Amino acid sequence: MEDLYITHAIPNGNTMATSTYVCGLCFEEHVVGFCNNCSLRLCHKCLSNHTKVVMFNDHQVVPFKPTTITGHVEMSIHEVKCRVHKTDSKSLYCGKHDVTICGRCVLSAHMACKDEIVDLYNTKFDERNAGELLSTLNKLEETINVLGASFDENVKLSDDCQEKYAKSIEEFRNKLNTRLDKLQSIAENAGKSKHTQNRSKLDQVQEQCKQTKRFITEQRDLIHEMSQKKKGGELYVFSKRFEQKMNEINALVERVRQNNCIQTYSFEENVKMRLAFENNFNEIGRLDEACVDSEEVNEISKESDVNDWKTQPNATQYSRSCE
């Protein structure tokens, strides 16, 4: 049977010793060893680098041995032979390093731990402690079962949430599109109106030019006819009236000349709107988070007597937060 020391499996199938304590130096990683001089529990990285520091190069660091808990207890723990001292049984427990050792181990590596060494021959089975441990595990299992039962519901809730989220974005975008389409339509209609005014004005100029040409043609033909027929009287009267007609025609031509122009136009963008989109609108909206917990799980967690197992050396502690 291996040492009774909880380990966590890692992906390659090996195990690495760990404990409920975090490294006394980096305060981040799990403990895998101990410095007898500093009396600090160390993680793998800090354990490897500890004696490399000049002021610590004479320190005695003790790595915890990678072990696992077996599924069955086939013999008493103090009957298991020491790996280092093959003929001696591991009848002692070092609380400082959380490892079972033999008497010779005390002399070789655990002299500084004498106040925390327990003789396993003197320990008795604690029925109450076993019951509390089982009770803690049962409550934890109940919590996990409730979480498992709510998994499908939470998956559906998550999918629904994403669907509503995407739909809300699309609806908001459609609102923006509708507003922009309306503003675009107003701007386009203003241009079309001005274009229609210009075209109407030009059409009038064109028609007046045609009328003037017809008048000129008619008057020229009439003069040719009177000249051919030698109509002196008619020509005299015509010439008297011609001056007045020419004054009218010249006035018409002047109006045509004045009206033969258009009012140009161009689109001037709304600078405030463009700058607002470019500089002020960095997001179309924001993701508003809300935490949805299972009330049943929360109630079970509140009922659990965590104080009993929180003080156990190998108890795994965790907290859940939602921002």
DSSP string, 61-101: EEEPPP----SS--S-GGGSBPSSSTTSB--EEETTTTEEE
**78 in Cβ contact with 121 (< 8 Å):** yes
Task: Give the integer Cα–Cα distance in Å for 277 and 274.
Answer: 5
| Residue 17 token pair | 């010793």
Per-residue pLDDT of the chain (323 residues; tens, 9 = 90+): 334 333 333 333 333 333 446 788 888 888 888 887 887 888 888 888 888 888 888 888 888 765 444 445 556 776 788 888 888 888 898 988 888 888 888 888 888 888 899 988 888 878 888 888 899 889 988 888 887 778 888 888 889 999 999 999 999 999 999 999 999 999 999 999 999 999 999 999 999 899 889 989 999 999 999 999 998 899 999 888 888 888 888 888 888 888 888 889 999 999 999 998 888 888 888 888 876 655 554 554 455 444 443 444 433 332 333 33
What count of residues does the chain have? 323
Q: Give the CA count within 13 Å in the CB-facing half-sphere of 259.
A: 19
Task: Give the integer Cα–Cα distance in Å for 207 and 195.
Answer: 18
pTM of the model: 0.43
Task: Give the integer Cα–Cα distance in Å for 102 and 3.
Answer: 12
